[in-house]
């Protein structure tokens, strides 16, 4: 079925054939594909960060394959097909945008939508996916709790909470209570996420950016050590830290 340019219908047909004729594709299930859906989503994020349109186009295609793959599996067991997915999506978009497809006031749309979702839940925390990255999930859970008033009112309270959790961690370490050490570290991370939320920072993005800074600075240490004819394993912590600070200064001056 070679063509100069393919469309969405062609993609669906190719997926149907792969499920019939490719041994690997045929044995996949919704469960076995879960990890690929997550991986492809993160590769799209990497492509966005790279500002490479060709890479973004490719990664969006890989991500698009996942719902088509899942829909084909569902079709084979008589649950739904890709057209049902599209139909439900379009209806949802129209319903969620009455200020575009109807006569609603734009300012009222978000408030009404959040109220409608809340009325359907037994708990305000329902609907936050458990497979989200931990920091992102923590921030979303805290956002939900905040909507009903479960929140700090002053930033000083958040700092006090962080200090309280650090104190409890120190006590657990002194007692060598391994299980409670993990518990208290989790509480500290939760409190730090609360601080990020309180000052309007996305905790997940902040840590990802910190990871990238760590990579750049550590790789600088590796390069400089190599230029000096040294192995990191043979260097003291003080020597490596000196190169770390040197790299940090150079990167900050270049930005």
**pLDDT by residue (tens digit) across 110-134?**
666 666 666 667 788 888 888 888 9
Q: What is the mean pLDDT of residues 165-191?
A: 95
Give yes or no for a contact between 198 and 158, defined as CB atoms under 8 angstroms apart. Answer: yes
Q: What is the pLDDT of residue 98?
A: 86
DSSP 154: S
CA neighbor of 187 nearest in space, from 172, 166, 203, 204: 166
C-alpha 116: how far from chain center: 25
What is the secondary structure of 84-152 as a DSSP string? HHHHHHHHHHHHH-HHHHSS--HHHHHHHHHHHHHHH-SSTTTT--TTS-HHHHHHHHHHHHHTTT-S-
Please give the structure tokens belonging to residue 93. 């978009």
**pLDDT by residue (tens digit) across 12-24?**
999 999 999 999 9
**pLDDT by residue (tens digit) across 56-111?**
999 999 999 999 999 999 999 999 999 999 999 999 999 888 888 887 777 666 66
Calculate what percentage of the chain has a pLDDT beyond 90.
Answer: 76
Does the reported pTM lie above 0.75?
A: no
């Amino acid at each position: 079925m070679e063509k100069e340019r393919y469309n969405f219908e062609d993609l669906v047909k190719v997926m149907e054939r792969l499920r019939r004729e490719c041994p690997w594709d045929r044995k996949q299930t919704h469960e076995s594909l879960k990890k690929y859906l997550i991986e492809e989503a993160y590769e799209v994020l990497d492509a966005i960060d790279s500002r490479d349109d060709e890479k973004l186009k490719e990664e969006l295609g890989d991500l698009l394959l996942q719902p088509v793959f899942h829909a084909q599996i569902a079709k084979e067991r008589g649950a739904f097909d890709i057209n049902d997915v599209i139909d439900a999506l379009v209806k949802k978009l129209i319903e969620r945008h009455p200020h575009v497809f109807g006569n609603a006031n734009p300012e009222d749309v978000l408030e009404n939508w959040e109220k409608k979702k809340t009325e359907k839940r037994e708990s305000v925390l329902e609907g936050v996916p458990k497979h989200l990255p931990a920091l992102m999930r923590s921030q979303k859970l805290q956002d939900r709790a905040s909507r009903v008033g479960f929140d700090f009112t002053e930033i000083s309270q958040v700092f006090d909470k962080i200090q309280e959790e650090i104190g409890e961690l120190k006590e657990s370490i002194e007692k060598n209570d391994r299980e409670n050490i993990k518990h208290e570290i989790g509480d500290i991370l939760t409190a730090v996420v609360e601080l990020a939320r309180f000052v309007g920072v996305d905790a997940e993005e902040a840590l990802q950016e910190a990871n990238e800074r760590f990579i750049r600075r550590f790789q600088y240490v590796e390069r400089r050590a190599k230029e000096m004819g040294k192995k990191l394993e043979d260097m003291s912590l003080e020597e490596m830290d000196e190169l770390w600070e040197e790299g940090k200064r150079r990167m900050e001056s270049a930005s």
